Structure 1
Amino acid sequence: MMSLFRISGWRDMRARLIASFAIVSLLLVGLALYQFERIDEVRSSMTEQKREMDKRLSSAKISQFLQELDRLEGELKRENDAERAEPFRTIHQAMEAELSRLDFAGSTAAQEDLLALREKSAHYAGEVEKMAALLLDENADPLELLEQMDALHSRTAAENQTMLDISGRLSAAADRNAAAAQARSFERLQDTLTMTGAAALAVIALTAMVAFLLVRSFGGSVGRLEHAVGRLAEGDLRERIGSGRTDELGRLSRQFDVMVDRVHAMLQRSRGVAASLERQSGAFRESARVTAGANEEIVRSIRDIAAGAEMQSGLSEETRRLMDGLGADMEAIAGLADGMLKLRGTAVSDTRSGQQTVARLQETSVQTEEGIARMFEELERLDGFSRQISGITKSMIDLSSQTHVLALNASIEAAQAGAYGKGFAVIAEEVRRLSSQTKDSTAVIGGLIGRLQQGMEQFRASMEGSRSLLREQQEQVAATLGSFEAIGGSMTRISASIGEVHAQVDRTREACGGLRQLAAQVSGIAESAAAAAQQVLASGTLQDEEIRRMALQAADVHELSERLAADIRLFLLREEESREEAEGGGRAQPDGDGEAAA
């Protein structure tokens, strides 16, 4: 393996890794193929074991069939009934089906026993058929029949026992074959486990050896590269690797040296730029600070002027708004005065109409009261009629009860009269049924009359309430009529006052119009001044913000330049190497042994 890594074609790290993992993969593939083969053999053994178990079950079924056939043959012998042969034939057919499925081709003795069992089964069935035929023969001598039946029974019993012995041997053969198949399955599984464990140990050992060789081949170069990167992270740009390897690590080390050289040159140039930037940014920061202070004073003065102009514009606008509001109020008052003049005539006519309407309402209330009095009289008369009807219904209920009793007595008399009283009994039953219906109907009518009387009482109470409300309404109508007469007198006096108010409103409206024009002119002048002041203030504010931003940016630039110079000073460049060597520092030797580690 070491000589393989030293070949010039294998100096590439990628080729080493591919070769190492290819060897491990081939070993794993070989192990997998071996396992697939052994698993297929185990599957075959298990299939064979299942077939042998099926044979054993078939042998057990055949033994059960033979026992059942022996029982049926014995019943046929004892009962001398030919019909007992039919169940025997059914079970024998099932046994023949099981025998046809059995096959012991791999065992000569078992196959011979199977053939003998099939032959004896056919002969056994033939003997039983002979017994059934003897029983069906009506001309047979009873004594001769008994002797033949005994002889046939003895032969069939012996053949049944022989077949049971053969079935037992077949079952034992199936057991032996199943046990052998199971043993082969266990043996193959054990071989597979042993081979898998050995292969796993071999893979682990090979992987460990490959990993050790790979780590040993590039461990030293990675360590030197890690050391150089660590020094670079600390800011030391004097470290170089100088590797002579030809693989990826060698190329990476040389590219690292080139990168460090370029960064070293860039930092040397950046030191001068950072020093110049630090000086220029300091001067620019001071100039921006002075300019920002002067512009702040200018903006403060402009803001005071704009505030005064804004206040003047606000006051002018407030004055104009108040005058507009006053004019609008005067217009509204004038409109109300005009409306009052128009409504004066309407109110007078409405007042007169109201007086006439209230008078008619008073007459209607009197007529309504008279109608309610007449309704009370009719209601009293209706109540009397309902009481009379209630008395009549009670009398009808009493009559129906008496009729029912008489009908029962007539039925009893008709029953005592026997056949001569049947017609009278039918009539008495019909009278009793009619009296019951009459009593029920009369009770319903009585209930309706009671609810009618209850409703009339409620109606009488409602009419009493309506009469009281009508009397209150008449009193309120009289009071309303008096109020309308007083309103008419007041409207006459109000009409005279409305005319004087309308004339005064016209004079005030003309004065407000002149004031509104003057306020509008003053407000326009103030708004123009405020707008101009706001424009100046906006320009000054923007200028102040820009100057402040420039001052902040100048401060940030100066701070960044200081930080940049400080950060650049953190790096150690080659011009400082002589001073550090004098103090005892030394530079690491370059990696010149190349492939020595490999």
Structure 2
Amino acid sequence: MKWTIGKKLFTTSVLIMLIMVTLSAFSLRNTYTLNNNTQQLSKTVLPKVSLIGDINYYTEHVMTLTQNHLLSEDQATKDGYENKITETTAALDDSFQKYGKLIESDDEKNYYNQLKDRWTIFLNKKDKVISESNGNNKEEANQTFRDGVLLFEKMQGDLDALTKLNSQVSEKITIESDEQSKNALNINIYIVIGSIIFTIAITYLLVRSIRRPLILLSSQVKEVADGNLGIDPIHIKNKDEIGELANHVNAMTENLKGLIENVMYNSQLVAATSEELSASAEETSRASEQITSSIIYIADGAEKQEKSTHEAYSVVKEISIGMEQAASSIQTVAENSQSTSEKAIYGNKVLDKTVNQMNMIHRTVNHTSEIVNSLGEKSDEIGKIVTIITEISEQTNLLALNAAIEAARAGEQGKGFAVVADEVKKLATQSRNAAGQISQLVDIIQFEVNKVIVSMEEGSSEIKDGINLVTESGENFKQIVKMIEEVSSQTEEVSAIFEEINASSQSIIQIVEMTSTISVEASSQSQSVAAAAEQQNASMEEMAASADILSKMAEELQDTVKGFKI
């Protein structure tokens, strides 16, 4: 499986996002649990404690009103006390009904039922006391009232037991919330530290796996751009776009090296051929002069004419052979130029592909920067969640303050309620502190994400430098291809000239042979031979000029390739 840069960056981003999601889910779960505990305190425990205080107050108030009724002598006053007792009893029944709906345990239910049973008995005694008080039966009324006082004291014991049960529940919830808050904080710290270490490590490895090969590639391409083709191939183990790019750069270097060697060889061959061509032209020129001199002396005698013709025949034959060799060399130069041009075109295509690969890497690094920016936005969302946690803790603290006020208002009977309110306040403080610590951890994550963004920007800058170097090498390739095409064109022209010269040489041979067979007509044909000699001399001058041009082009080509080190 090909592990491309895009897959590496995507996998890294997914892992970091999973860590962030895990941390967020764990924080939300702890927040939900703490909120449930707070809801249980505010909706169950605190209302029950408040109702116990109300029940205690109403029972004590009924006891006091009954005693006042017993001590009163005025019937109108007694009637007023009876009305108040009826109102208080109705309020007490309502409190009993509300408390019954909030009962959670069997022990609490037993104490509650026992309290209601005793209250029912107390109401009967209260009615008896009022009846005896209205009948002015003071002694029996006092005895019944004392029995009611004993029953009231037992009811106080039931209320204390219910208060204690609710205090235990509140303490249990507080302890569980405290432990859970501490555990959650520790786990959050471990997760954040682990995620920071993991993020730094994987980011370092990823940037290192991209940056080091790019530095090697940049150095390699710079050497090639400077003309140094004798460097060793780079070896990169990456099985991704960078590894492919390294292989393409190595192939480009080898092809360019072979191209330059071929150009150097062909330029030397062209130089040597031009020297041979120049020498042949000089010999041909000298031969033409000899032919012209021979024509002058044709009239002196057939014997001298035949001898001169034989010498001219030998010289022209050598020239013809030299022309054929030169034509063969020029053909070889043309073929090598064509091969060199094809390799140069292939090298230019490799450079274009290299530029495309580096552009793809540049786009991939930019995409990774966008993903890391998205991670920073996720951190901002976690910060918003922490703000919600802080608001919940502040609301809980306000609820605890209200509970403390109610406890103070209840007096001695509200002590248990005050303990619960204090525990709730501690719980709210711990929640706010935990939220603050989580906020600090989120800031740390955002700082590390910013470092990753800076690292990505550095990698992108280095990729741009590599693209510029490769582009410069491509321009050099295009110049080389253009020069090779010019050499190929000049070679074709020289080849055509050689064909003309060779044809002229064959014509001279035929003329010399004809001269040998018809020596009698030599004098009459001297003008034709002189004209042919002049044409041959002009051709030799053209050939010499072409040889000079070819020699200069070979020197220019050699000067060009000297800039490369093989």
Normalising by structure 1, we get a TM-score of 0.40
Normalising by structure 2, we get a TM-score of 0.42
Larger radius of gyration: 1
